[in-house]
Amino acid sequence: MGTIKNRKTVFQDLGIRSFEDTWELQTRYFEKIIAQKKSGDEFTENHLFFVEHPHVFTLGKNGSEENLLVPLDELDRIDASYFPINRGGDITYHGPGQIVVYPVLDLENFEPDLSIYLRSMEEAVIETLKSYGIESSRYEGFTGVWLEPDTERARKICAIGIKTSRWVSMHGLAFNINTDLDYFKYIVPCGIDDKGVTSLQKELGHQVDMEEVKKILLKNFEMIFGMEFLQESKAANQY
Structure confidence at residue 31 (pLDDT): 98
Please say whether the structural domain 9-225 has been given the CATH code 3.30.930.10.
yes
Average pLDDT, the chain: 92
Task: Provide mean pLDDT across the span 93-122.
Answer: 97
Q: Which residue has the higher pLDDT, 60 or 218?
A: 218
- Residue 10 and residue 5: Cα distance in Å, rounded? 15
Q: Can you give the pTM of this predicted structure?
A: 0.93
Structure confidence at residue 3 (pLDDT): 58
Instruction: Kindly state the percentage of the chain with pLDDT values over 90.
Output: 80
Q: Are 94 and 179 in contact (CB under 8 A)?
A: no
Q: Are 88 and 61 in contact (CB under 8 A)?
A: yes
Structure confidence at residue 236 (pLDDT): 44
pLDDT tens digits, 4-54: 689 999 999 999 999 999 999 999 999 999 999 999 988 899 999 999 999
Structure confidence at residue 2 (pLDDT): 47
Which sequence positions are flagged as catalytic?
A: 190
Find the helix packing angle between 210-225 and 114-130, rounded to 10°: 140
Structure confidence at residue 237 (pLDDT): 43
Instruction: Kindly state the percentage of the chain with pLDDT values over 70.
Output: 92
Burial category of 77 from C-beta neighbours within 10 Å (exposed 0-12, middle 13-18, buried 19 and up): exposed
Task: With a cut of 90, say whether residue 94 has pLDDT above it.
Answer: yes
pLDDT tens digits, 114-171: 999 999 999 999 999 999 999 999 998 888 999 999 899 999 999 999 999 999 999 9
Structure confidence at residue 79 (pLDDT): 97
Q: Are 183 and 95 in contact (CB under 8 A)?
A: yes
Task: With a cut of 90, say whether residue 179 has pLDDT above it.
Answer: yes
- Residue 221 and residue 208: Cα distance in Å, rounded? 20
Least confident of 70-84, 97-111, 137-151, 185-199: 185-199
> Pairing mode, if any, of strands 56-59 and 91-94?
antiparallel
Domain ranges of the chain: 9-225
Residue type, 209: D
b vs e for 142-159, b when ≥16 Cβ sit within 10 Å of the residue's Cβ?
bbbbbbebeeeebbbbbb
φ, ψ (nearest 5 deg) of residue 124: -60, -40
- Residue 176 and residue 18: Cα distance in Å, rounded? 17
Residue 105's pLDDT band (cuts 50, 70, 90) = very high
